[in-house]
Amino acid sequence: MASKTLIESPAVPVAKDPDVLAAAARLNGEDMCSIADLSSAEVRAILKLGHEVKRNPREYRHALDARQMVLMFEKASLRTRLSFEAGINTMGGNAIFVDQTSSPLGERESIADIARNVERWVDVIVLRTYAHDTITEMAANSRVPVINALSDFEHPCQALADFMTLEERFGSAAGLNFTYVGDGNNVCHSLMLTGAQLGANVTVATPRGYSPEIEIVTLAREIAQANGCELRLLQDPQLAAEGADAIYTDVCVSMGFEHESTKREPIFRPFQVNEALMQKAAPHAVFMHCLPARRNAEVTDQVIDSPQSIVFDQAENRLHAQKALLLLLLGGLANGVSIQQQ
């Protein structure tokens, strides 16, 4: 396994918040393949820094001067690619995009050999892949940080932005009743872990046979128990929605599963988020989706376009949460940017 490089910090102001400083010290040079790679304190610190970066973007214009980021994507992307590229560019760094949609990583040469080349040219590797093993193998062989920008198993950057958005709306995720309705997929996995890390009560409602992976369920329940919150798995979306502060859904056919579209459509029809389902939630409840949405499939136009919908706030916060993550992994906090205690 490659030894990670501790990255020297550039001459930009140092964050004074002790929680963020502790996270910066631990995460400098590390990978982020899974939300499970982070402690609860580190998840909170990333979101705290994300809020600060969003409020004061000019303070971080030179935080990552001359840093090089490569994005190697096997899957199509809008939000992930643009938010990462804009994020590092606005902090003084540079993004290089490598389209792997027609040549999956590991096909032309081994992932280990790719890692040993790329680590010599760039400061961080951002991957969007099918197999989660591609990400973990790259991380095991790279001396620079590797970030999971989506795999078939997890979507951690999405979940960080989502809970940052919930903090904006509710002040804190702790004690929130968060409901996910739909396929127990990669997004669901990362939401379960992040919610548990932040003390939210997470309810997941999926059709029989489409539950989240048991290893993620077990880990999320352990984290939830440690943080005084609860994880529930149900097969009734109506019951799951009762009293929820937030209802979240995703497409029922993720990338790579298109061949199952005809089979899945009738199975997931009762799990559609529509006005009737939203009425089961708390009056102040918000609707969430990672996008792109299949309108009038997993969610109706009436819901996604309603005042309850915060889907575009989620999309915006991909930028800010990922900027915070890059700052922490690349040693971008030095010499006094003041992060106020919250």
Task: Just list the catalytic residues.
Answer: 128, 155, 158, 250, 290, 318
**Residue 209 identity (one-letter amino acid):** G
Q: How many CB atoms lie within 10 A of CB 67?
A: 21
Cα 205 to Cα 35, 46, 178, 270, 319: the distances in Å are 21, 28, 11, 11, 29
Distance (Å, whole) CA 23 – CA 66: 23
- Who contacts 335 (Cβ-Cβ below 8 Å, separation ≥6)? 9, 11, 12, 13, 14
